[in-house]
Amino acid sequence: MLPFTKMQAQGNDFVILNSLNNELPDLTEELIRNITERRYGIGCDQLLVLHPSKKADAAMQIFNSDGSEAANCGNGLRCVGDLLIRELNKDEVTIELADRTVKACRTDRGVAVEMGKATIGEKTEAHVNIEIGNPHAVFFEATEAFPEGRNIEIITGQVADHVYLDIIERGAGRTPACGSGACAATAAIWHVEGHTRPQTIEMPGGEVTVSGSPDNLILEGGVETVFVGELSINSFSE
């Protein structure tokens, strides 16, 4: 039996496996796909796996629902931040990713996490490529073919600093929300409009706030624990 926690942030949902407290099985692509499958498994957009870390409160791996590994996940970081804050009874925690370590803390709006630097890439009249630990293409107009191998964010409306966003995640498909996508959209808007005002990003699953600077974006919003349980691994081999 495999203990797990199911959490969500603006409808972007995650299954969290914690090797800090439990011994985990070999996480093959087949097992990851089975866990994340919504009809025969638990169901989620991404599987998050926590490991011991020598330089942070925990290290986090991110797996998409197709079994591929991702480098960054803002909403997942906020969910894991909330879990660690509760389990460790701390006001602020650190989480190690493959390329950096970030801080997460509680706020009056939920949980805030450092997302690091946004790097501007190719820009056309229709879109801007953004790197923020993972690759994004932010579209102001959906008039070009979507590139493969990138997370896609489509700005469907904007009223002052309130932005409406649709998301197609690499390896997961269309999702209700994406934290790194909200940050990428904010970085693209800052680049095009020439300012760094905080942005409210409204996605189908809910709202987040992105602030800070292009060198260190801060993602903030609510998270929830949906349920905890145990999964029978043997059921996948029967």
Structural domains of the chain sorted by starting position, each given as residue range(s) with its CATH number in brackets: 2-113+223-236 (3.10.310.10), 115-220 (3.10.310.10)
Q: Kindly report the pTM of this predicted structure.
A: 0.92
Active site residues: 73, 178
Cα dihedral: 6, 155, 158, 201 (round 10): 20
Using CA atoms, how far residue 81 sits from 59, 68, 109, in Å, is: 11, 23, 14
Mean pLDDT, consecutive 10-residue segments, the chain of 238 residues?
95 95 89 92 95 96 91 94 96 93 95 96 95 94 90 96 95 89 98 97 97 97 96 68
Predicted local confidence at residue 238, as pLDDT? 47
- Structure confidence at residue 237 (pLDDT): 53
| Pairing label, strands 58-64, 92-96 | parallel
pLDDT for the residue 170? 86
| Dihedral sign of CA atoms 123, 71, 43, 172 in order | positive
Q: Is 122 exposed, middle or buried (CB count within 10 Å of its CB: 0-12, 13-18, 19+)?
A: exposed
